[in-house]
Amino acid sequence: MMKLVQKLLERISGANQYARLAVHLGASVMVCLYIVAFFAFTIAPGMPNYFRAMAIYRGALEAAPACLAAGICAAVICDLLYRTYGPKDDDTSKDDMRD
């Protein structure tokens, strides 16, 4: 999975900073959910309610790839919007801020 994330970050290096941040945040949440799933699986036998711990484990495992996919979708949208409506060279909004 880490090779996939590294390859994705190499390919998105030409994108703007917002798109890179969206992919980075999606990958970070994915890793955190995998850590939660690992701990839930590890401590499940010692828990009073084994099935609740396994439900947390399964939920975290199912949500982790979805978070990465959401980060990738957000990166594509950010990149498209930034390229379409990004800052222009003749931006006059700075002149409007003067008193």
The distance in angstroms from the start CA to the end CA of the chain is 53
Confirm if 16 and 82 have CB atoms less than 8 A apart.
yes
> Quick one: pLDDT at residue 99?
46
Look at 11-15, 58-62, 91-95 and tell me which has the smallest mean pLDDT: 91-95
> Quick one: pLDDT at residue 96?
52
pTM, 2 dp: 0.74
pLDDT of 31-89, one tens digit each?
Answer: 999 999 999 999 999 989 999 999 999 999 999 999 999 999 999 898 888 888 877 76
Residue 94 makes CB contacts below 8 A (sequence gap 6+) with none
Please count the residues of the chain.
99
Give the whole-angstrom CA distance, residue 44 versus residue 53: 5
